[in-house]
Amino acid sequence: MSGQDWLDKDFYKVLGVSKDASAEDIKKAYRKKAKKLHPDRHTGDKNAEEQFKQVGEAYAVLNDAEQRQQYDAIRAMGSGGARFAAGPGGPGGAGGAGFDDIFSAMFGGGQGGFSGARGGRPGGFNPAGGGPEPDLDDLLRMFGQQGGAPGGGFGGGGFGSSGFGGGRGPRPSAGQDIDARTKISFRQAALGTEVRLNVDGRTVTTRIPAGVHDGQRIRLRGKGRPGHGGAPAGDLMLTLDVEPHPVWSADGADLRITVPVSFDEAVLGATLTVPLLDGGTVKVKVPAGTPSGRTLRVRGKGLVTKKRTGDLKVTVEVAVPTHVEGKARQAVEDLRDALADEDPRAGLAEAAAR
């Protein structure tokens, strides 16, 4: 993702958190929104699907401390947050030159120098009276690569021998980031897999960790376009499109499956043999009187990720027979007569009128 992309997108707003939110707050907000917008709950809803992907994109950046630092720096610069005081010895001062003066000198600005780099004074980049506005990513590299703070910040050394005041000629230009997408199956996303990508005519092989979700973005450092003059290569930002599964779905590290049970199993209780994603099985006890739609939890049988091992959530669905004849029909009628005094809808009208 380019610096311009980050400048245009407010990831804090997407997750509904403040800019000083803690990592735990960001994680909680992501889980809440991802659960609410999950495609399994909005089948065919393109708007919900797009919001789900945006939430995943925002979390991928803000959950990574280094990426979050870079993102905050870019957003601050774009909104006028980056300021350099003019005057000898002042913060950011370069021999008495202010921020605008430095850029004027670099690009031959004279009187019409750098007068409006996204967050500066109104106007455009006007070296020697004209010319295109510089790319934001190119400007950021002047601060964030050689001589700057690690990760693209504005730390010490940014104006040293390899910065603006070194006099060693043009600085090497880092390679550009590249965006790419790949489609993987639900099983591959859940268990992890290796994928091969064709990027600018070259093959890139990478390992996808277990437990990724649809729309998640993965940063592959140094897999973007090569840098110039010995500068590092850019990154490859890989977006994952996870195909839905007819049986399985994921809720974070937890796995979900719906299992049909017969009427008598739900009423009298039963022990079910439930399949596992890895090909094995597990025994699940259904208590007597279990209603359709109840979810039973099996600890430690979900996805195994770097952060934790999830649980298996088994939702019981009572299967109603479509053809009942002879003794079976008589048995159902006898049951109806025996339970004639029980009203499953008792209190419904009163509750609806509140």
Greater confidence, 140 or 260?
A: 260
C-alpha distances out from residue 181 to 51, 195, 214, 221, 241, Å: 17, 11, 11, 16, 7
Give the tokens for residue 91: 């913060």
pLDDT > 70? residue 79: no
More confident residue, 222 or 107: 222
Highest mean pLDDT among 5-9, 38-42, 67-71, 349-353: 349-353
C-alpha–C-alpha distance, residues 2 and 175, integer Å: 11
Domain with CATH 1.10.287.110 in the chain: 3-63
Cα separation, 113 vs 125, whole angstroms: 7
**Does 249 have pLDDT greater than 90?**
yes
Q: What percent of the chain has pLDDT over 90?
A: 40
pLDDT digits (tens, 9 = 90+) for 116-126: 444 444 444 44
Tell me the average pLDDT of the chain: 78
Phi-psi region of 18 (alpha: psi -120 to 50; beta: other; left: phi over 0): beta
Token reading at 113: 């120098």
Q: Which residues contact 277 (CB under 8 A, 6 or more apart)?
A: 187, 190, 191, 248, 255, 303
> What pLDDT was estimated at residue 141?
54
pLDDT in tens, 129-185: 444 444 555 555 554 444 444 444 444 444 444 444 444 555 567 888 999 999 999
pLDDT tens for each residue of 315-330: 999 999 888 899 989 9
List, in order, residues 6 or more apart from 58 with CB less than 8 Å away: 9, 11, 12, 14, 15, 30
pLDDT of residue 100 exceeding 60: no
* Average pLDDT over every residue of 332-347: 89
CATH number of 249-346: 2.60.260.20
Give the percent of the chain with pLDDT over 70: 72
Q: Give the Cα separation of 290 and 287 in Å (integer).
A: 6
Tokens 């419904």, located at residue: 348
* CATH 2.60.260.20 domain residues, the chain: 178-242, 249-346
Task: Report d(CA 148, CA 138) in Å as an integer.
Answer: 14
* Digit-coded pLDDT (tens) for 194-242: 999 988 888 999 999 999 999 999 999 988 888 887 788 899 999 999 9
In SS3 terms, 6-19 reads as HHHCCHHHHHCCCC
Distances (CA, A) of 255 to 97, 113, 301: 59, 58, 8
CATH code for residues 3-63: 1.10.287.110
What fold does the segment set 178-242 form as a domain? HSP40/DNAj peptide-binding domain (2.60.260)
Mean pLDDT of 34-55: 84
Q: Where are the alpha helices (DSSP H) in 146-220?
A: 186-191
Per-residue confidence (pLDDT) for residue 323, from 0 to 100: 85
Residue 344 sits at φ, ψ, to 5 deg, of -65, -15
What are the structure tokens assigned to 25, written together? 């707050």
Q: For strand 312-318 and strand 254-261, is the pairing parallel, antiparallel, or unpaired? A: parallel
Strand partners, 285: 271
Are 84 and 98 within 8 A, CB to CB?
A: yes
Strand-pair category, 178-184 with 236-242: parallel
Pair 276, 303: CB distance under 8 Å: no
**Mean pLDDT, to the nearest integer, of 58-79?**
84
State the pLDDT at residue 149: 41
pLDDT tens for each residue of 279-309: 899 999 999 999 999 999 999 999 998 889 9
pLDDT for the residue numbered 342:
87
pTM across the whole model? 0.49
Q: How many CB atoms lie within 10 A of CB 161?
A: 11
